[in-house]
A and B are shown apart, each in its own frame.
Chain A
Amino acid sequence: MTTILETQGLTKRFGGAQVINGIDFRIDAGEVRCVIGPNGAGKSTFFKLLTGEHQPSSGSVMFLGESLNGVLPHQRIQMGMSIKFQIPGVFPELTAREHLKLALHMGRDDHPNAIRQMLADFRLEGEADVQAAHLSHGKKQWLEIAMAVALKPKLLFLDEPVAGMSAEETHATGELVLSLRERGLTIMVVEHDMTFVKQIASTVTVLHGGRVFAQGSLGDILARDDVADIYLGKQS
């Protein structure tokens, strides 16, 4: 199976603090991988190392067989990564339609039909010409995901995609992620919401103390007592 993303010995230090401590990680094509872990596990820093917001202190990140050392964030996107951020980073004065037009343009397909289709797929038809500042939180999250998908990525990062969503919206987002997997998209999700993780994930990576604590199928991970312990703060 084709390896989409791979890290080897990835570390990150901020001054004297070692936040990421030698992570070896791999995602293959077509996978939906959830990265979970308690607060302070290093999830956000790991995510930023992959997207290029932070540069590693040592180790490497390979994407589709190419090293990402020194590759700028926008260049990583052009290579085929796509990111949905935790906090919706929409463009307040642009409409939903304009967001998708721009994202589809960056994904090399801004035909009006493609925009209409995306608006329909992400339940944004009714708000197509509404400025993003006036959308509900849930709609902003979907607009974010829609923009990330519109880039036609080879790897889609979703950083806490259901943060702040209602149970109904969370479930709908889960269905959306599953439909994206059916289309063959490789997806990496960083998430706290275990209901959502159970809905979408086949493989889970647990981070703890800046390293991979456990990895395996969702059922195996949920059955491990030591994973439950780190969430309850019993193990450090």
Chain B
Amino acid sequence: MNANTLPSSRVAVSRRGSFVAKSLPWVAAALLPLILDGSTTNNLAYSLIWAFGAMGLAVMWGHAGILSFGQTAFFGLAGYAYGVFTINFGEGWMSTSTGLLIALAVSAVLALALGYVIFYGKVQGVFIGIVTLSTTLVFETFMAQTAGPQWAIGAARLNGYNGMSGMPALSLPWSGGFMAIEGVPFYYLILVLLALVYALTRRLIGSTFGLTLAAIRENPQRAEMLGVDIRRHQLLIFIYGCTLGGLSGCLYTVWGAYITPSSMGLTAAAMPVIYVATAGRKSIGGAIIGTAALVWGSQSLAVYSSEYAMILLGAILLLVVLAAPEGVLPFLAQLLRRIRARRRAAVRAQTQPMPRRSEGN
């Protein structure tokens, strides 16, 4: 039975139930700082920071069929851009908020340039993964050799493999001066940004633009024969997804006040793909929850040994690819639907009147 055939009161109840279910994680996330200590809230903020880039990858990969291994290139570049700008222009809400915008703009411009080469150069399929992975490795290699004093932009030393540090936190104007957004307020800032980006992304996917992307993913040649400019659509969503990678990188830099070339390395580049593949590449909400859970889990394990976290992540990915290729959350959702359907069928069987003997014959 589909929604069109349900009585209107039941449709309303079903919609309300769905709204409540969708709101629940957000409400829970908003209440968590009330029961967690400051340090745990801070770590939770760290876990959520990665969800922006994961959402970007989920849109590119799950909805547009573009598998990029290059989220970390934008992550790192945005982090360095924020650092260079704010170290030169100092703390204060104008400097830091402009730094954030510049970091996003740098990511978008790089995504435009790289995406143009990829999509207008007719690079397709697995080769997009190779090109984007190469890009992040080139950035890592380049930044790793910037140790000398000649590698400085104004007051900001790039500092080679040790990375750049000492950039100020984001801040708000406050009684003639400014107030740094740190600790619990920073957590709430991340949460609000996440909710906004989530809503925007959902809207994008639900729009005709999103439908066009799905068509391109399913059959690019056919989409082109509907008059769709495939390359332009792919480029636009690539810019959007990569800029979200940049947003993750910028917020990461703000959170820890440092950024290093290793954030663009091979191991780092695999992480967003693992997070999104595990959570479910077609689920935007799943990408947020899954990424936050995996980052949280691997950070908790890394306290004992970073190798443990890597081994566990590798094992999880292997298990997911074999058992639930669409991702854990879609797998669980499907399981839940099946259980509900079985229960409904069982209830119907119990409540249906037994056929009379004369009807049965």
Residues of chain A at the chain B interface (Cβ within 8 Å): 51, 73-74, 77-78, 83, 85, 89-94, 98, 101-103, 105-106, 110, 129, 147, 151
Output the nearest chain B residue to A147 by Cβ-Cβ distance.
B226
Question: Which B residues lie within 8 Å of A51 (CB)?
Answer: 225
Q: With A73-B225, A93-B218, A94-B215 in contact, is A110–B208 under 8 Å at CB?
A: yes
Question: Which A residues lie within 8 Å of B225 (CB)?
Answer: 51, 73-74, 77, 83, 85, 89
A74 contacts B224, CB within 8 Å?
yes
In addition to A51-B225, A74-B227, A94-B215, 8 A-B residue pairs with Cβ atoms within 8 Å of each other are: A73-B225, A77-B224, A90-B222, A91-B215, A92-B219, A98-B211, A101-B211, A110-B208
Number of residue pairs across A and B with beta carbons under 8 Å? 58
Partner of A102, one of B212, B224, B230: B212
A93 contacts B214, CB within 8 Å?
yes
Partner of A91, one of B214, B224, B229: B214
Which residues in chain B, 194-231, are within 8 Å of chain A measured between CB atoms? 208, 211-212, 214-215, 218-219, 221-230
A74 contacts B222, CB within 8 Å?
no
Interface size class on chain B is 10 to 19
B2 contacts A94, CB within 8 Å?
no
A102 contacts B215, CB within 8 Å?
yes
Question: Which B residues lie within 8 Å of A102 (CB)?
Answer: 208, 211-212, 215, 226
Question: Which A residues lie within 8 Å of B229 (CB)?
Answer: 74
Alpha-carbon separation in the docked complex, A131 to B247 (Å): 35
A77 contacts B2, CB within 8 Å?
no
B226 contacts A77, CB within 8 Å?
yes
Question: Which A residues lie within 8 Å of B212 (CB)?
Answer: 102, 105
Output the nearest chain B residue to A129 by Cβ-Cβ distance.
B2
Question: Which A residues lie within 8 Å of B215 (CB)?
Answer: 91, 94, 102
Question: Which A residues lie within 8 Å of B230 (CB)?
Answer: 74
**20 A/B residue pairs, CB under 8 Å, sorted by A:** A74-B228, A74-B230, A78-B227, A85-B222, A89-B222, A89-B225, A91-B214, A91-B219, A91-B223, A93-B214, A93-B218, A94-B211, A101-B208, A101-B211, A102-B211, A102-B212, A106-B226, A106-B227, A110-B208, A151-B227
Determine how close the nearest CB of chain B comes to the CB of A76; give it in whole angstroms. Answer: 8
Question: Which A residues lie within 8 Å of B221 (CB)?
Answer: 89
Alpha-carbon separation in the docked complex, A102 to B213 (Å): 10
Determine how close the nearest CB of chain B comes to the CB of A72; give it in whole angstroms. Answer: 8
Question: Which B residues lie within 8 Å of A129 (CB)?
Answer: 2
Question: Which B residues lie within 8 Å of A90 (CB)?
Answer: 219, 222
Alpha-carbon separation in the docked complex, A106 to B227 (Å): 7
Question: Which A residues lie within 8 Å of B208 (CB)?
Answer: 101-102, 105, 110
Alpha-carbon separation in the docked complex, A98 to B227 (Å): 16
Partner of B219, one of A77, A89, A103, A151: A89
